[in-house]
Amino acid sequence: DIMLPNMNGYELLDALISNTKTQLIPVILLSAKADEYSQIKGLDKGTVDYLIKPFSAQELIIRIRANIELSLRRKINYKNVSKKK
């Protein structure tokens, strides 16, 4: 979420990306902020998706599944390219 009590979601995203242990974890921002600026800022900072509250559980599950599938395809493509070298 972008609006957190101790730090905002953008700051948390920055912290995750700057830490080598967490920088590869895909992050989906969930927020009530529906303005274009907030969405673009989140995507520009490295989130893989941005969902506006309220959203359905089904939408969240589908977006998570799509991001996992994309990640798996990238890994497979990387392995295939590496084998060709």
Write out pLDDT tens, residues 23-34: 988 999 999 999
Q: Decide if pLDDT at 40 tops 80.
A: yes
Percent of the chain predicted with pLDDT > 70: 99
27 close to 46: Cβ distance less than 8 angstroms = yes
d(C-alpha 79, C-alpha 16), whole Å: 26
pLDDT band at 69 (very low <50, low <70, confident <90, very high): very high
Q: Decide if pLDDT at 64 tops 90.
A: yes
Q: What is the pTM of this model?
A: 0.78
Residue 78's pLDDT is 83
What value does the mean pLDDT take over residues 49-71? 95
Domains of the chain as residue ranges with CATH: 9-84 (3.40.50.2300)
Q: Decide if pLDDT at 85 tops 70.
A: no
Determine phi and psi for 50, rounding to 5 degrees: -140, 120
